Amino acid sequence: MNPKCDVYKAKMEKSIEVMKSDFNTIRAGRANSAVLDKITVDYYGAPTPINQIAAIATPEPRMLTIQPWDASALRLIEKAIQASDLGINPTNDGKIIRLVFPQLTEERRRDLTKEVKKMAEDTKVAIRNIRRDALDTFKKQQKASEITEDDLKLLEKDMQELTDKYCKEVDAESAQKEQELLAI
């Protein structure tokens, strides 16, 4: 692999990391604290992620407990969860918030798999855009006589191999997440 491709390889890897973190925020009927990652609480005037102001635990496969370190944040966390698109109603007992994850309906599973497919396709588009940017850069370098035509052909081949490799990885991750969603 040509060292000139390393920058673009790192960008493609970053695209896949972003997709994986997005996949973690999709709840698959099991309790997963990652679903709370995108929810922020207005804590003393600053938007703060829940995991920075509370302990999050999974006492049962379908339940998350959120215990804030500051009791005054309890109501704020509860309101933030209700305002989010999580679709779960929190239960507050004055000390701990409980989130019980209901069994997903077949229709909801299908909707979530469509969402996963869209995220995967968006990631593939991002990877292809990175390839396009790389090829544009290499062609400009060739026009400026910084690299030879043979170098350009080798770089184009390397970038296509990288693109194919990462697109296959996106497909594999997507298939795994879809299988997880469709499992009862």
Please tell me whether residues 52 and 88 are part of one structural domain.
yes
pLDDT tens sequence across 142-184: 888 888 888 889 989 999 999 999 999 999 999 988 888 777 6
Q: What is the pLDDT of residue 28?
A: 65
Please tell me whether residues 95 and 109 are part of one structural domain.
no
Share of the chain above pLDDT 70, in %: 97
The last residue of a domain, from among 54, 82, 100 = 100
For the domain that residue 56 is a member of, what is the CATH number? 3.30.1360.40
Six-digit token pair at 143? Answer: 């026009």
Contact 2, 154 (CB under 8 A): yes
Q: Which of 44-48, 65-69, 102-106, 123-127 has the highest mean pLDDT?
A: 123-127
pTM of model > 0.75: no
The predicted model gives 47-65 an average pLDDT of 85
Is the predicted pLDDT of residue 84 greater than 90, yes or no?
A: no
Using CB atoms within 10 A of its CB, is residue 12 exposed (0-12), middle (13-18) or buried (19+)? Answer: buried
Domains: count for the chain: 2
Domain encompassing residue 151: 3-24+105-182
Using CB atoms within 10 A of its CB, is residue 177 exposed (0-12), middle (13-18) or buried (19+)? Answer: buried
Please tell me whether residues 61 and 129 are part of one structural domain.
no
The last residue of a domain, from among 54, 71, 100 = 100
Is the predicted pLDDT of residue 79 greater than 80, yes or no?
A: yes
Give the DSSP letter string of the chain.
--GGGHHHHHHHHHHHHHHHHHHHTS--SS--GGGGTT-EEEETTEEEEGGGTEEEEEEETTEEEEEESSTTHHHHHHHHHHHSSS----EE-SS-EEEE-PPPPHHHHHHHHHHHHHHHHHHHHHHHHHHHHHHHHHHHHHHTTSS-HHHHHHHHHHHHHHHHHHHHHHHHHHHHHHHHHH--
Q: What is the pLDDT of residue 39?
A: 82
Six-digit token pair at 133? Answer: 């940017």
For the domain that residue 134 is a member of, what is the CATH number? 1.10.132.20
